[in-house]
Amino acid sequence: MEKHHVEIMIPEDEVDRRIQEIGEQISRDYQGKQVHLICVLKGGSFFLCELAKRITVPVSLDFMSVSSYGGDTKSSGVVKIVKDLDESIKDKDVIIVEDIVDSGRTLSYLLSMMRDRKPASLKLCTLLDKPERRVIDVNVDYTGFEIPDEFVVGYGLDYDQRYRNLPYIGVVKFD
Ligand code: IMP
Ligand code: MG
């Protein structure tokens, strides 16, 4: 691992406040319905838990894990399902919960795969968005923060599997 340190980009209280707002927004938008949250492991897990706690309409959860086919997700965008959902999403009001949308490749693939399973509705919620990096257009319904093109960690995001447990969004600085 290259020599580096982590600086705070978005402090914990600001992240918490924003997640509270998104939780309230989702609760309003899904009034009278049940939302089915899908977490994309592992990065989305911290955000999903904090968000789910702040949604006041009925919630159910499911988890999936994906990896890129062959080398790099960033080059192909074709993802392999490592762990599929436990339950069918047919006729459910689904929100995919992600840590970050970068090039948009993973998400656009995942969205089309989920659409084929005929949910009643399908939305996307991401904690972070790096719009400058977008290669494939994806429609994000709920965004926590738009951030510049820097490598971030914390709140589920990792650098070589480290730092997922940081309670804030940090930026990796190479020394
Ligand atoms: P995509 O390029 O939008 O397909 O994003 C692919 C994946 O790259 C994301 O789900 C993250 O797991 C990872 N990723 C993108 N940017 C960052 C970052 O700044 N820090 C950590 N992981 C990232
Ligand atoms: Mg991810």
Per-residue b or e along 6-39, where b marks 16 or more CB atoms closer than 10 Å to that residue's CB: beebbeeeebeeebeebbeebeeebeeeebbbbb
The answer to whether the pTM exceeds 0.75 is yes
Regarding the beta carbon of 33 and ligand 1, being less than 6 Å apart is answered no
Q: pLDDT at position 70, please?
A: 54
Q: How far is the CA of 29 from the centre of ligand 1 (A)?
A: 27
CA–CA dist 34, 94 (Å, integer): 9
Q: How far is the CA of 9 from the centre of ligand 1 (A)?
A: 16
Q: Which atom of ligand 1 is nearest to the CA of 101?
A: 3
Regarding the beta carbon of 108 and ligand 1, being less than 6 Å apart is answered no
- Distance of alpha carbon 57 from the chain centroid: 20
Q: pLDDT at position 136, please?
A: 94
For 56, 127, 147, 161, the CA distances from 132, given in Å and listed in that order, are: 33, 16, 9, 24
Q: Note if the bond before 3 is cis, omega within 30 degrees.
A: no
How confident is the model over 82-133, as pLDDT tens digits?
999 999 999 999 999 999 999 999 899 999 999 999 999 999 999 999 999 9
Of the candidates 110, 173, 145, the residue with the CA atom closest to the CA atom of residue 11: 145
How confident is the model over 46-79, as pLDDT tens digits?
999 999 999 999 999 999 998 876 554 455 667 8
CA–CA dist 92, 96 (Å, integer): 12
How confident is the model over 9-18, as pLDDT tens digits?
999 999 999 9
Catalytic residue among 16, 102, 129, 175: 102
Regarding the beta carbon of 127 and ligand 1, being less than 6 Å apart is answered no
Residue 1's pLDDT band, with cuts at 50, 70 and 90, is: confident
Q: How far is the CA of 158 from the centre of ligand 2 (A)?
A: 9
Could you tell me if residue 77 is left (phi over 0), alpha (psi between -120 and 50 degrees) or otherwise beta?
left
Structural domains in the chain, CATH included, are 12-148 (3.40.50.2020)
Dihedral over Cα of 134, 171, 73, 49: its sign: negative
The tokens for 147 are: 């951030």
Is 158 a known active-site residue?
Answer: no
Regarding the beta carbon of 23 and ligand 1, being less than 6 Å apart is answered no
For 4, 41, 98, 121, 160, the CA distances from 111, given in Å and listed in that order, are: 35, 15, 12, 11, 26
Q: Which atom of ligand 1 is nearest to the CA of 158?
A: 21
| Of 117 and 1, the one with more pLDDT | 117
